[in-house]
Amino acid sequence: MATPTSEPTGDDPSRDAPDAYLTSGEEVFWSEPREARQLQPFDGSEPRGLLGLRLDPPAIGQSFGLGGRNIDLVVVTPVDPRQSVRDGLPALPLDVHLLLPPEEWDPGRPPDPAALRLIGRGKLVASLGAARATDASMIRMNGPRR
């Protein structure tokens, strides 16, 4: 029998724990923290590298101009030029630029940097508790989400 944890990882107990949690940043308020699972890192033309992440639950895309399309894939690159995601996630927390890939992007192939659209900044943290604390701090600074 599996030992219960204080950090739920979804409804399926057989699912792997997320690599990180994506939480609100300076320009992006998620309705809740998102589990983030690493896809393949890409060098691309970005000196800090690009890393695809699968989000769970998906984010509502309407506030990003996507109509009814939800966001379950994002590409990130570190905000700090001294950090890199070329080999996967470094130590957390990590402030990242959030980039939307085109709808037809295949996560197994490097994204076309010209097709990525910057939607703001977010923060990757190691635990759900840290994500909730970051969100609470952002709400105190910026007011409630709309």
Q: Where are the domains of the chain?
A: 20-142
| Average confidence score pLDDT of the chain | 82
Contacts of 59-66 with CB under 8 Å at 24 or more apart are 59/30, 59/31, 59/34, 60/31, 64/100, 64/119, 66/100
Q: For residue range 59-89, what is the model confidence (pLDDT) as tens digits?
A: 888 877 888 888 899 999 999 999 999 889 9
Q: Tell me which residue of 18, 61, 45 sits closest to 116, measured CA to CA.
A: 45
Whether pTM exceeds 0.75: yes
Highest mean pLDDT out of 16-20, 109-113, 132-136 = 16-20
What is the rounded CA–CA span in Å between residue 47 and residue 23?
Answer: 24
Q: How far is CA 57 from the centre of its chain?
A: 11
- Digit-coded pLDDT (tens) for 44-57: 667 788 999 999 99
pLDDT score for 32: 84
pLDDT at 145 over 50: yes
* For residues 23-50, average pLDDT: 80
Query: Does residue 117 have a pLDDT over 50?
Result: yes
| Contact between residue 101 and residue 108 where contact means Cβ atoms under 8 Å apart | no
CA 21/CA 46 separation, integer angstroms: 23
Q: What is the DSSP letter of 88?
A: B
In angstroms, rounded to a whole number, what is the distance separating the alpha carbons of residues 71 and 86?
23
Query: In the 8-state DSSP scheme, what is residue 91?
Result: S
